[in-house]
Every structure is written in structure tokens, then in C-alpha cells.
Structure 1
């Protein structure tokens, strides 16, 4: 299992060797420093913790600064984001303090990418769940409203999980089996085929696909 923390830069398009236009998302992947290695014996599970980004050391909590110091990560700037990549028990993990770059992935690798969707605030059911709404004429007075949400008799209450107006977006979403089109190792940039959730500048967790063989052909 390979993984990095990255930042969504935006979308563009490139041509492959056959002249086919491919929409890609530009991702700044790394550099990421290994800040901890979780083991089954000590933590009950196996994972590698990575750090990404920069934050002034004076703005980092003492608890986090002490945690990073154990891995040899010190200085005026410290990682601003920490994430974990789960690994299989017994897998060889990089030592704390190791820096990982975009070149851990190769072209035609397949990735699972976790991003945070754009926040849409409080929305009604027509936008949030694509309800049809009520009639727009002949006495209709609830054009964009929910309609019936409960029962008069049994069970006599609104059933749990009923789709209703509420907060929309700003939740983690995973897109699986995205193909790496190009690796620009000198700039720590990945060109990933297709769209990735979230706004430009959002933090992404990038890891090897668990349902597709890495290095497979298109």
C-alpha cells in the first residue's frame, strides 16, 4: 500500500500518445514526511502516519510539536496536516523522518482519492436530493417543498433517515480507481484522470487502489 497527502490544484486536459484528449486533475502530491509508524503490537493496527504542508512552529501545539520531534521532524516550519495510510500487518514501512515524494507512484497506477466536497450550506430537498417538488399551477402552493413526511397513526412520528432539508456538502468522499496519467516528479505533481471531490486547494489523501491492480493497462 502506497500513499501520500496532496493538494488539489485544479483541472486541465492533456493528450495521450494516440492523440486522445484526457481530462485530468492536477494534484500536488508531497513532499510528505513520515511522522509515525503504527504497529499491531503497540497500537492494535498497522499504518503509516504522514505529514504534509507547512506551519510556523510557534503556531503548532506543544503536543504535536513533541510528537513530531520523536520522528526527528523539527525546525521553524512543521507539517500542518497529518493523515494515516493503513497498511497490512507485516508490511515493511519507511522509517520515521523519511520524506516521500510523488515518484512513489508511476504512470498507469490506480488510486483511491479521498477529498472533502464543497460546502453548499443549508439546502432544500429539490437541490439536496433532486426531489421533483409540487405542481407549478392549478392551485399548487408547495412548488419546492418536501410533501408528506410522516403518518397520522402508526408509527405517529417522522421516520428516522427521512430525506429533508439540511446541511449539504463539506463531507469526505472517496473516488476509487482513478488512473495516474503522468507523474511530474521534479514538481511533485500527479496528473490524475477524471475529477476529484473538493475545491481547488483542498487537502487530499491519495493511496493505492484496493479494488484494481496497480500498473494495469487502460
Structure 2
């Protein structure tokens, strides 16, 4: 039986048969590894000249992927301290131009970070190799207008944003586990005393005797967090071109080091997307063709100095 399984010849010892089998398996493994596409590849995207365009209210620029670095505070031009969240752009590049059924609504696939080839699937390795882009850690798609298309391989920096503009951020919120209705939905809960017994944090009644059932969508205890959340109209307070970071006012969903999608705000009722008189880099900031920017650019809040009393 052993000779049938391992190919032992008559008169050959078991040890020599096992060594021959081991050598054969090693040779087969070496040949298989040589055929794998995990060899070090050279990534060189096609060079396409990118020219500056003119931004119009109908134009829609691409968004970016950033990593949340934490929260801090800064002072605006009037000396008022505001809480801000630091978002860093880590090797953000255009990976692919996606054509949709409607030619007026293309999409850009944006990649962020760097991933080792050995940790990348074969299908993604083939995708990155076809585009000439090194493997990215995270990929997202953003809808744009035809005049905002960027060539594959274009790097997007923090100068893509204008200090004072409004952005929408989307991320996965921090998971909080199974929570009750008071924490999850903000219910008031029951009374603390005066006849209340073991029902201080219960949701109370969940419906009437008619129809005699609980309607779908009723707010109940359950798992809280861990879902995609979008925060609208956050002002960009500062842009740092050296650290490739942007400071946005307020908090951003999710823990530190999480990937965040940042785009120009789209719901602008009674708001301006860009500050008045600002030069918008369109379709993005191009080093060499645009004016050199300082390392830090702080947004001007405008309005009246809060430390000086008004005349009226």
C-alpha cells in the first residue's frame, strides 16, 4: 500500500523514497511559484498632460480618500478656539476611469495608501498592473462631471481643497455594541421613582391593541454603530501642503487611522461651497502649472470681531 501511494520501488528504503518525494514536491513548488504574478512589477502609468480648467457651478470635482489622524484645536483669525479633525492624504492617486451608461456621469476610482503585493489578490494585482499603478490599500469611486476627468496616475494632494470651503465626509461610525433605546435612539426612559419598578430604561409600549402587532422600523434596542455615516457641510479650516493634511471643523465619524471619504459639499441651501473670491483648483491642483502655495493656508472666517462690541 505504501508503494502505491508514494511510488516506492522494490528494494528501495522508505527514507530514500520519502527524500525523493520531497525533492519532487520542492521542484513542483518552485515551478508553480515561478508562474505566479507576484514578482516585483514596475508600475508606470501612461503619461497624459493635465491642463487647468475653469470651474463652473455645474462642475463636480472628484473626492478623495484620507486617513483620520485625530482631533485637536486651533484658533481662527479672531482668536476663537475651534475643534478640528486632522485628515491626511496618503498617496492618493487616480486608479481607473469608469465609464457608465450615461456619458455625462463618469466616475473616478481613487486609491489611497500602499499595499504589499503579497497581500493583494491576483485579480486586484492584474487590475493595478493594467492601469500602471502600485497596489493601493483602499479604493473608492466618486461621481464627477466630464470636465473634471483626471488621467490615470494623477496624484491628488491637500491643495485640492480651498481653506474656507465646505466638504462632506463619509466613514464607518465607531461600533458601540448592543445598546438600549436611551443610548441608541435618545429615548427619555421611565421615571426614577413614584411607582416605577425595574422599568427605568425600558422603551415602554411598542404599539396599540389594534392592529395588535409591532410596525416594521420601530425603534428598538440593538446593535449600535458600525454603519456608514455622512456629515454634511464641514468647513475646511486649514490646508497643510507639507504634511499633506487638511483640518476640518468639528468631528468626523470613526476611530483614528480609519479611511474617510471627503468630497465637495452637494447640499448647499443658503450656503456657498467656496469662499467668495477664492481660486478653485480645477479639476485639481497641478504642481508646476499652478502658483506655488505656502505650507499652511488658514481659512478666513470673516464677519465681525467678537471681541469688539457692535455699535448698534
* Deviation by residue 1:155-193 (Cα, 9 ceiling, x = unmatched): 221111111100111111111111111111111110111
Identify the residue that residue 49 of structure 1 maps to in structure 2. Answer: 109
CA distance change for structure 1 residues 41 and 148 in 2, over 3 Å: closer, same or farther?
Answer: closer
How many pairs are equivalent? Answer: 213
Does the 8 Å contact 1:33/1:50 carry over to 2? yes
Does the 8 Å contact 1:12/1:24 carry over to 2? yes
Mapped partners of 1:98, 1:40: distance in 2:
21
Does the 8 Å contact 1:30/1:100 carry over to 2? no
Identify the residue that residue 284 of structure 2 maps to in structure 1. Answer: none
Mapped partners of 1:71, 1:140: distance in 2:
66
Question: Which of the numbers 13, 24, 37 marks the counterpart of 2:84?
Answer: 24
Identify the residue that residue 165 of structure 2 maps to in structure 1. Answer: 109
* Higher RCO (CA-CA < 8 Å; seq separation 6+): 1
Mapped partners of 1:46, 1:16: distance in 2:
38
CA distance change for structure 1 residues 43 and 53 in 2, over 3 Å: closer, same or farther?
Answer: farther
Query: Once the 2 structures are TM-superposed, how far is the Cα of residue 95 of structure 1 from its aligned partner?
Result: 1.0
Identify the residue that residue 151 of structure 1 maps to in structure 2. Answer: 208
Structure 1 residue 68 corresponds to structure 2 residue 128: yes
Identify the residue that residue 11 of structure 1 maps to in structure 2. Answer: 71
Mapped partners of 1:136, 1:22: distance in 2:
37
Does the 8 Å contact 1:2/1:104 carry over to 2? no
Query: Once the 2 structures are TM-superposed, how far is the Cα of residue 17 of structure 1 from its aligned partner?
Result: 2.8
Moved over 6 A (4+): none
Question: Which of the numbers 222, 244, 247 marks the counterpart of 1:188?
Answer: 244
Identify the residue that residue 180 of structure 2 maps to in structure 1. Answer: 124
RMSD over aligned Cα, in angstroms?
Answer: 1.9
Does the 8 Å contact 1:31/1:102 carry over to 2? no
The alignment's TM-score, normalised by the length of structure 1, stands at 0.89
Instruction: Point out where structure 1 has 5 or more consecutive residues left out of the alignment.
Output: none
Identify the residue that residue 216 of structure 1 maps to in structure 2. Answer: 275
Identify the residue that residue 96 of structure 2 maps to in structure 1. Answer: 36
- SS in structure 2 opposite 1:70? helix
Does the 8 Å contact 2:91/2:114 carry over to 1? no
Q: Which of the pair is proportionally richer in strand?
A: 1
Mapped partners of 1:150, 1:122: distance in 2:
22
The alignment's TM-score, normalised by the length of structure 2, stands at 0.64
Q: Considering only CA atoms, is the larger Rg found in Structure 1 or Structure 2?
A: 2
- SS in structure 1 opposite 2:123? helix
Does the 8 Å contact 2:62/2:148 carry over to 1? no
Does the 8 Å contact 1:31/1:188 carry over to 2? no
Taking the TM superposition and a 5 Å limit, the aligned residue runs for 1:165-204 are 165-204=221-260
Instruction: Point out where structure 2 has 5 or more consecutive residues left out of the alignment.
Output: 1-60, 277-300, 302-312
Mapped partners of 2:77, 2:104: distance in 1:
47
Query: Once the 2 structures are TM-superposed, how far is the Cα of residue 42 of structure 1 from its aligned partner?
Result: 8.2
